[in-house]
């Protein structure tokens, strides 16, 4: 999946040593804001010191971020993990929340609507304007 928008927050990098393998690790979180009538924000993570340095994401940049979404369970609760694997610079923000995804709502009315609007029977002599 991918989002195009502006980076509005760059969090502090986190690092540590894996208890299982003994290898050191580093990750950093960012917040991207997707423009539109109702702007959306998404927190994503870049894992690995080499990728963090390679992408060199700065606050205020307009980017397209390609990412994978996964979930994991911890103590009976589930958590989403949104990990970026590529960053593309120099593209204009797109008005859609996610490229390649279906629109969140079908078009209202018209031949392309999934279901036409329901027709309510009208009782004769009814002075009520309410549709129910």
Q: Provide DSSP, 9-65.
A: EEPPPEEEE-TTT--EEEEEEEEEEE-SSS-EEEEEEEESHHHHHHH---TT-EEEE
Instruction: Please report the pLDDT score of residue 93 as a whole number.
Output: 47
| CA-wise closest residue to 29 among 16, 10, 15 | 10
Segments making up each domain of the chain, as ranges = 1-87
Task: Take residue 125 and report the two structure tokens written for it.
Answer: 């002599």
Q: State if pTM tops 0.85.
A: no
| CA-wise closest residue to 69 among 100, 44, 103 | 44
1-87 maps to CATH 2.40.50.140: yes
Instruction: Please report the pLDDT score of residue 35 as a whole number.
Output: 93
Residues in the chain where the model's pLDDT stays below 50: 93-103, 106
């Amino acid at each position: 999946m991918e989002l195009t928008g502006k980076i509005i927050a760059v969090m502090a990098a986190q690092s540590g040593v894996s208890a299982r393998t003994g290898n050191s690790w580093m990750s950093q979180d960012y917040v991207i804001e997707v423009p539109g009538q109702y702007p959306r924000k998404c927190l994503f993570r870049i894992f690995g010191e080499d990728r963090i340095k390679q992408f060199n994401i700065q606050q205020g940049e307009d980017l397209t971020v390609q990412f994978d979404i996964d979930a994991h369970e911890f103590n009976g609760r589930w958590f989403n993990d949104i990990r970026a694997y590529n960053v593309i610079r120099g593209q204009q923000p797109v008005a859609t929340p996610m490229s390649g995804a279906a629109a969140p709502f079908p078009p209202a009315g018209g031949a392309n609507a999934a279901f036409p609007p329901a027709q309510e029977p009208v009782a004769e002599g009814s002075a009520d304007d309410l549709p129910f």
